Amino acid sequence: MTNVVFIHGMFQNSKSWASWQTYFEGLGFVTSAPSWPYHEGEPAELRRNIPEGLGALHLRTLVDEFATFVRAFSEKPVVVGHSVGGLIVQELARMQLLSAGVCISSVAPNRMLAFDWGFFKNSMSIANPIAGNDPFLMTAEGFHASFANTMPVESSNAAYERTATHDSRNVLRDCMMEDGKVDLELPHPPLLFIAGEKDQIVPPELIAKNAQGYSDKNSIVSFKEFPNRAHFICGEPGWEEVAAFAGNWIQTTLATE
């Protein structure tokens, strides 16, 4: 059976993939969703007691850890990543460690930018160099404004309580620097890019730009934008449609490889 590995992004942990794991296991896949370092446990407890060392977490550590994780499988797994997790999927694809990858609301490599106010506001707020290694503390208000802006406040607050974590500013900083570079000209496993129309963190035009940047003519790149979806696309109402599209793409793509 095919293994599917889920990689969360910033301000989330493995709990955010619980429904997706159940859905994909129903399709016959074997799933796993390891948390990043300093992200293991209940999100509410991680917010109350910030793990020592969280603020010093870097992107390279995450890429190395997930590379080690996927190498342990006897056959290359499918890897699904959200946000920074999507960028990690692209890096693992460059390393030829995947059979296929799904990049959802993915942070873009190679200093790609979008001329979008929400993108700049959120990126600069988190990456703020003056804050040093102090973790970025996600609030319920910030979660609704940036993550779950298509949801009613009450629903967003409930999602925050259930799934949100604080995070390292250094991870996003690294995404904008050398460790966030991916060679888009190399042959690579099939990749699917999924965007949300109302995403305030990674707008759909940036995800489309990322997907279009891949230039190897013999490698598969697909793009899908879902209307009225925010950055919390994997957890907001209607996530089932997104999961179904990704699952069908994976099954179809693997069948033709």
**pLDDT tens-digit map of 141-174:** 999 999 999 999 999 999 999 999 999 999 988 8
Q: Mean pLDDT, to the nearest integer, of 114-140?
A: 70
Do the Cβ atoms of 182 and 59 come closer than 8 Å? no
Is residue 58 within 8 A of residue 168, CB to CB? The reply is: yes
pLDDT for the residue numbered 176:
85
The Cα 191–Cα 214 span in angstroms is 10
**What confidence score (pLDDT) does residue 178 get?**
86
Mean pLDDT of the region 167-184: 90
Determine the Cα–Cα distance for residues 144 and 154; give it in Å rounded to an integer: 9
Q: What is the pLDDT of residue 121?
A: 60
Nearest to 141 by CA among 133, 153, 127: 153
Cβ distance 90 to 191 under 8 Å?
A: yes
**CATH of span 3-256:** 3.40.50.1820
At 120, the pLDDT band (50, 70, 90 cuts) reads very low
Q: What is the pLDDT of residues 196-243, one digit of tens each?
A: 999 999 999 999 999 999 999 999 999 999 999 999 999 999 999 999
Each residue of 32-91: pLDDT tens digit? 999 999 999 999 999 999 999 999 999 999 999 999 999 999 999 999 999 999 999 999
Please determine, for residue 113, whether its predicted confidence score (pLDDT) is greater than 80: no
Question: Tokens at residue 18, please?
Answer: 């619980």
Averaged over 125-141, what is the pLDDT? 80
